[in-house]
């Protein structure tokens, strides 16, 4: 391939789609967890619900902008082709975005909702019928949204992984890698929002929950990336050649130093360092605001780089002899 | 004859190719391919150093695969395959997402900036449907390409594939390419 058919807009979209999936999942989870019959993390649940729909909505707009003929994007909705990951993804993304907005609405504080509707002309009666309290259905929406958010998280990987002509993508590990990266990015975004929201003091319990969750997701991501590298290195020539792109080729530095180092291991180190005293020595968790800020920003940076590396390096890989390995 | 009973393909005898690029020019003229884009091309492979060297020319274009991955990934069905095997793009349904270009193992598609849709070799279906042959086949001075119907036992292509050794490119992709290169 002489040029990149998919560029930065696709990278940003894949990142934002995953981010929303992660935000929704983490917030939904927080919504379900209870301590003594009381919601354990109401602030996280609300924050995530309010944030979740926006990245994916913005990302989808970018996706349409990237089309050669964007005025024809509606044709995506006139067809359903189960063999095409993009077709399935279109529907999945639409359903997820719609549900994320409904969920966001269900979490809207009463006064915000009233303020929103008071700005609309009173003659729009149909719209004013929508001014209802959906807070009783939050759990139902979250439950419907879990599989959709997981689906969107996986789909961003399947979109690439299903392309048999590109050995860099075409392994059964890319989908999971993107999913765990998405969940980790969403969790990190919540962490970032939590510490940046200066109006309310950061509760240690909220912080601990998010740090915990992120450690789990980053670890899962690592457990996918290592076999990806090992299996690829031991695979057939086409895959080996493809992997050379990050093992000596043009994307080596950005993969090892910036993504794996700064985007994954450093934040994991920070988060484990924060958690360790409370886990090993039974001390009370005392998270540092600045460390949480650094870790979450780095995780988001890493999540973006993962998409960047995969979109670009994947397009360079092919079954042709690439002149790197003989 | 019923279109469903045909399977068009090309046999290519690369050793006859002299890299004159008449096929490329004929294709561009016949199909009004935009400047800078190509529906067919000639691969050059050099071996050795002067004065002991050889160079091989190998014409290539869309392989009109049996199981085309470009058709599979297309979200709108704009990329489609006729019953006779020819893979086409229905431009009206093409949204220009370029997924098919990425999915093609042979990089046989291009993005037409003018129409903002994807273009590719049509095997000159407009000529074939009138009983003609593709422009690249017709114009080749050294008769490198042989076009025909694999399901017609009396065709030249059928005879060549029955009597000569051949290979296809990148069969491991599972696409079932239909450009047969004689050995």
Q: Is the pLDDT of residue A146 over 50?
A: yes
Domain count, chain B: 1
pLDDT tens digits along B114-173 = 999 999 999 999 999 999 999 999 999 999 999 999 999 999 999 999 999 999 999 988
Residue B75 touches chain A, beta carbons under 8 Å = yes
3-state secondary structure of B122: coil
- pLDDT attached to residue A325: 45
- pLDDT attached to residue B3: 58
CA distance B97 to chain A (A): 5
Closest residue of chain B to A318, computed from CA coordinates = B105
Spatial separation of the C-alpha atoms in residues B125 and B113, rounded to whole Å: 23
Check which CATH number belongs to the domain holding B164 and give it: 3.30.70.20
Give the count of beta carbons closer than 10 Å to the beta carbon of residue A228.
Answer: 18
The phi-psi region of residue B46 (left if phi > 0; otherwise alpha if psi is between -120 and 50; otherwise beta) is beta
Q: Is the pLDDT of residue B44 over 60?
A: yes
Provide the b/e sequence for A276-293 (b: ≥16 CB within 10 Å). Answer: eebeeeeeebebeeebbb
Give the count of beta carbons closer than 10 Å to the beta carbon of residue B167.
Answer: 10
- pLDDT attached to residue A321: 66
Kindly list the structural domains of chain A, giving each domain's residue range(s) and its CATH number in brackets, ordered by start. 8-316 (1.20.1630.10)
CB-CB neighbors (< 8 A) of A1 in chain B: 102, 107
- pLDDT attached to residue A322: 58
**In the Cβ-directed half-sphere of A176, how many Cα atoms lie within 13 Å?**
15
Structural domain containing residue B143: 3-182
> What ipTM does this complex have?
0.90
Q: Decide: A259 and A309 in contact? Cβ < 8 Å.
A: yes
Q: Is the pLDDT of residue B55 over 80?
A: yes
Q: Confidence band (pLDDT; 50, 70, 90) for A326?
A: very low
3-state secondary structure of B103: helix
Identity of the residue in B101, B102, B116 whose CB atom sits nearest the CB atom of A69: B116
Task: Please judge whether B103 and A319 are an interchain contact, meaning their C-beta atoms are less than 8 angstroms apart.
Answer: no
Residues linked to residue B60 through DSSP beta bridges, in sequence order: B41
CB-CB neighbors (< 8 A) of B95 in chain A: 67-70, 72-73, 75-76
Determine the average pLDDT of the residues in A110-134.
Answer: 87
Spatial separation of the C-alpha atoms in residues B136 and B126, rounded to whole Å: 13
pLDDT tens digits along A242-286 = 999 999 999 999 999 999 999 999 999 999 999 999 888 888 888
Structure token digits, residue A74: 């509606």
Tokens 């993508």 map to which residue?
A169
Q: Is the pLDDT of residue A7 over 60?
A: yes
Q: Is the pLDDT of residue B1 over 60?
A: no
- pLDDT attached to residue A183: 97
């Amino acid at each position: 391939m002489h040029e990149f058919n998919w560029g930065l807009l696709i990278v940003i979209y894949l990142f934002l789609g995953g981010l929303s999936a992660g935000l929704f999942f983490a917030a939904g989870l927080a919504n379900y967890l209870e301590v003594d019959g009381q919601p354990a993390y109401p602030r996280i649940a609300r924050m995530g619900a309010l944030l979740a729909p926006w990245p994916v909505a913005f990302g989808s707009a970018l996706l349409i902008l990237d089309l050669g003929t964007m005025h024809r994007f509606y044709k995506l909705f006139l067809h359903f082709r189960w063999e095409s990951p993009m077709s399935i993804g279109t529907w999945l993304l639409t359903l997820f975005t719609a549900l994320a907005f409904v969920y966001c609405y269900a979490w809207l504080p009463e006064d915000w909702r009233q303020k929103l509707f008071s700005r609309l002309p009173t003659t729009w009666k149909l719209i004013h019928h929508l001014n209802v309290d959906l807070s009783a259905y939050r759990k139902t929406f979250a439950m419907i949204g879990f599989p959709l958010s997981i689906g969107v998280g996986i789909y961003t990987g399947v979109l690439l992984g299903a392309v048999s002509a590109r050995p860099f993508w075409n392994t059964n590990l890319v989908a999971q890698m993107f999913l765990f990266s998405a969940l980790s990015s969403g969790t990190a975004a919540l962490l970032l929002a939590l510490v940046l929201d200066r109006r309310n003091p950061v509760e240690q319990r909220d912080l601990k929950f998010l740090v915990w969750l992120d450690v789990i997701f980053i670890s899962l991501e690592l457990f996918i990336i290592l076999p990806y590298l090992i299996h690829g290195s031991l695979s057939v020539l086409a895959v080996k050649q493809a992997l050379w792109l990050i093992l000596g080729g043009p994307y080596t530095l950005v993969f090892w130093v910036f993504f794996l180092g700064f985007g994954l291991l450093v934040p994991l180190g920070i988060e484990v360092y924060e958690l360790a005293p409370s886990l090993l020595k039974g001390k009370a968790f005392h998270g540092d605001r600045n460390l949480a800020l650094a870790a979450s920003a780095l995780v988001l940076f890493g999540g973006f780089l993962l998409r960047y590396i995969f979109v670009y390096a994947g397009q360079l890989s092919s079954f042709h002899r690439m002149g790197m390995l003989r | 004859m019923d279109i469903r009973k045909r399977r068009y393909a090309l046999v290519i005898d690369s050793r006859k190719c002299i890299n004159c690029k008449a096929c490329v020019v004929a294709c561009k003229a016949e199909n009004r391919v935009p400047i800078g884009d190509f529906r067919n091309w000639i691969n050059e492979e050099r071996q050795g150093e002067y004065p002991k060297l050889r160079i091989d020319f190998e014409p290539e274009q869309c392989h009109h695969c049996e199981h085309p991955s470009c058709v599979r990934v297309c979200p709108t069905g704009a990329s489609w395959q006729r019953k006779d095997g020819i893979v086409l793009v229905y431009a009206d349904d093409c949204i220009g997402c370029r997924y098919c270009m990425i999915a093609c193992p042979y990089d046989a598609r291009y993005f037409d900036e003018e129409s903002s849709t994807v273009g590719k070799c049509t095997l000159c279906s407009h000529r074939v449907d009138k009983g003609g042959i593709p422009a690249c086949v017709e114009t080749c001075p050294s008769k490198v390409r042989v076009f025909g119907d694999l399901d017609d036992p009396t065709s030249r292509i059928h005879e060549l594939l029955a009597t000569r050794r051949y290979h296809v490119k990148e069969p491991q992709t599972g696409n079932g390419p239909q450009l047969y290169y004689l050995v």
